[in-house]
């Protein structure tokens, strides 16, 4: 009887549950999005996020099992995001997983959300050739890492302040484009001219990032404007600056480390501009570009389930307790 992992993800504003085999085959993936709840606030409202998870988690688990056409007897273990994330949101997933694990008498493993993103590029088929440079760009984090294999990770540089996704979301809010900012800012940017010289903070300083200066430069530009902004031009200028920062750091990392591939994961990896420009960079540098399909770039539980298989293979099972600090050592 083939066994599967049930993955549960509730770190932010999506309640997600998936059933995944050891090879990364996704039997089911359910995502209950809360975007409609948070859009009027232009960002995630933590208390409302926790409450919405409570409402949707059990139906999402039931649906994932039904869609996968398996019974709980075929589940080897449950993998659940233990952090980083919003504490109220994390606790809903963690307590649900612990209860189910006790009832079904199977192990429950706490999974680092970022490790989930790092593994998302291997869902459904193995795409990553190691060693690899990984650019993780999400709503909560932005960093570059070197991966010797799918479990040996060395952090090369992360953001000193905001993530690039946070900058996208705030620019989306400033321009009244809605939430989440990523897709709407990208769409507006395609129609605009990048004619506003926004800064590129820390462009030539190592492999670390900084996005708060870029975000406030957009705010200052809009504050100082007398008339209405040309929304598309502001978006295009912001996206051009963000891309230049991300791609410059990737080029630097690829020059410093002899690797086979560049892997771009996390919600901002859904950006067509980033996908296209990363493709051009990889061609220039002679490395493969590995991208998860769009549905695995943003938060999902299939990536959490795949990361759970790594922990099972390593015989390492972090407890299903909240992990509030980002600790690369605990990846």
Q: Which stretch binds ligand KG4 (CB under 6 A): 31-39, 62-70, 267-275, 285-293?
A: 267-275
Helices then strands, each counted (H, E), the chain:
11, 10
- Choose the one of Zn ion, ligand KG4, none that binds residue 180, judging by a C-beta under 5 to 8 angstroms depending on kind: ligand KG4
Token digits for 142?
């932005």
The answer to the question of residue 12 lying near ligand KG4 (CB under 6 A) is yes
Q: Which of 299, 309, 311, 331 binds Zn ion (CB under 5 A)?
A: 299
Q: Residues 108-147: x/- map of binding to Zn ion (CB under 5 A)?
A: ------------------------------x---------
Closer residue to ligand KG4, CB minimum distance, 93 or 140: 140
Tell me the closest approach of the beta carbon of residue 167 to ligand KG4, in angstroms. 8
Q: What is the CA radius of gyration of the chain?
A: 20
Tell me the closest approach of the beta carbon of residue 74 to ligand KG4, in angstroms. 28
CA nearest neighbour of 307 among 83, 13, 76, 22:
22
The answer to the question of residue 89 lying near Zn ion (CB under 5 A) is no
User: Do 113 and 37 touch, CB atoms closer than 8 A?
Assistant: no
Q: ω before 323 within 30° of 0 (cis)? A: no
Closer residue to ligand KG4, CB minimum distance, 117 or 146: 117
Tell me the closest approach of the beta carbon of residue 198 to Zn ion, in angstroms. 25
Q: Residues 283-322: x/- map of binding to ligand KG4 (CB under 6 A)?
A: ---------------xx-----------------------
Tell me the closest approach of the beta carbon of residue 138 to Zn ion, in angstroms. 4
Q: Which stretch binds ligand KG4 (CB under 6 A): 1-9, 137-145, 230-238, 249-257?
A: 137-145
The C-alpha atoms of residue 238 and residue 281 are separated, in whole angstroms, by 20
Closer residue to ligand KG4, CB minimum distance, 84 or 101: 84
The answer to the question of residue 192 lying near ligand KG4 (CB under 6 A) is no
The answer to the question of residue 9 lying near ligand KG4 (CB under 6 A) is no
Residues constituting the chain: 331
Alpha-carbon separation of residue 37 from 13, 60, 89 (angstroms)? 9, 18, 14
Tell me the closest approach of the beta carbon of residue 2 to ligand KG4, in angstroms. 29
Tell me the closest approach of the beta carbon of residue 142 to Zn ion, in angstroms. 12
Q: Which of 93, 192, 201, 266 binds ligand KG4 (CB under 6 A)?
A: 266
- The CB-side HSE value for 61 (13 A sphere, CA atoms) comes to 24
The answer to the question of residue 300 lying near Zn ion (CB under 5 A) is no
CA 260 to chain centre: 22
The answer to the question of residue 13 lying near Zn ion (CB under 5 A) is no
Burial of 22 (0-12, 13-18, 19+ CB in 10 A): middle
The answer to the question of residue 28 lying near ligand KG4 (CB under 6 A) is no
The C-alpha atoms of residue 7 and residue 29 are separated, in whole angstroms, by 9
Q: Which of 50, 88, 183, 279 binds ligand KG4 (CB under 6 A)?
A: 183
The answer to the question of residue 271 lying near ligand KG4 (CB under 6 A) is yes
Q: Which residues, 6 or more positions from 36, have their beta carbon under 8 angstroms from its beta carbon?
A: none
- Choose the one of Zn ion, ligand KG4, none that binds residue 186, judging by a C-beta under 5 to 8 angstroms depending on kind: ligand KG4
Token digits for 31?
């995502």
CA nearest neighbour of 15 among 39, 33, 38:
33
CA nearest neighbour of 8 among 325, 324, 320:
320
Q: Which residues, 6 or more positions from 284, have their beta carbon under 8 angstroms from its beta carbon?
A: none
Token digits for 177?
């484009």
Residues found near ligand KG4 in the complex (CB under 6 A): 12, 138-140, 165, 168-169, 180-183, 186, 266-268, 270-271, 298-299
């Amino acid at each position: 009887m083939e066994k599967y992992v049930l993955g549960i993800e509730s770190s932010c504003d999506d309640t997600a549950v998936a059933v995944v085999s050891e090879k990364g085959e996704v039997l089911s993936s359910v995502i209950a999005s809360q975007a409609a709840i948070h859009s009027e606030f232009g960002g995630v409202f933590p208390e409302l996020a926790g409450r919405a998870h409570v409402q949707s988690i059990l139906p999402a688990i039931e649906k994932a099992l039904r869609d996968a056409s398996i019974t709980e007897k075929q589940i080897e273990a449950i993998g659940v995001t233990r952090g980083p994330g919003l504490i109220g949101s994390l606790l809903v997933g963690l307590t649900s997983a612990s209860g189910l694990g006790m009832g079904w008498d199977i192990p429950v493993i706490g999974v680092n959300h970022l490790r989930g993103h790092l593994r998302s590029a291997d869902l459904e088929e193995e795409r990553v050739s190691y060693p690899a440079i990984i650019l993780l760009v999400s709503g909560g984090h932005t960093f570059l890492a070197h991966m010797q294999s799918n479990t040996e990770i060395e952090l090369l540089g992360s953001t000193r302040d905001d993530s690039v996704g946070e900058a996208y979301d705030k620019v989306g809010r400033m321009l009244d484009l809605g939430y989440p900012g990523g897709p709407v800012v990208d769409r507006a940017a395609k129609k605009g001219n990048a004619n506003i010289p926004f800064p590129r903070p820390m462009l030539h300083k190592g492999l670390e990032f900084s996005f708060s200066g870029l975000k406030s430069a957009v705010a200052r530009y809009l504050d100082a404007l007398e008339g209405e902004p040309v929304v598309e031009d502001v978006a295009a200028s912001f996206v051009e600056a963000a891309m230049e920062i991300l791609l410059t750091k990737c080029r630097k990392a690829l020059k410093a480390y002899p690797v086979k591939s560049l892997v771009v994961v996390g919600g901002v990896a859904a950006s067509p501009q980033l996908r296209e420009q990363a493709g051009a960079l990889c061609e220039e540098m002679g490395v493969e570009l590995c991208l998860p399909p769009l549905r695995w770039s943003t938060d999902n539980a299939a990536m959490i389930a795949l990361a759970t298989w790594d922990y099972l293979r390593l015989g390492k099972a972090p407890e299903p307790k909240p992990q509030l600090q980002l600790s690369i050592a605990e990846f």
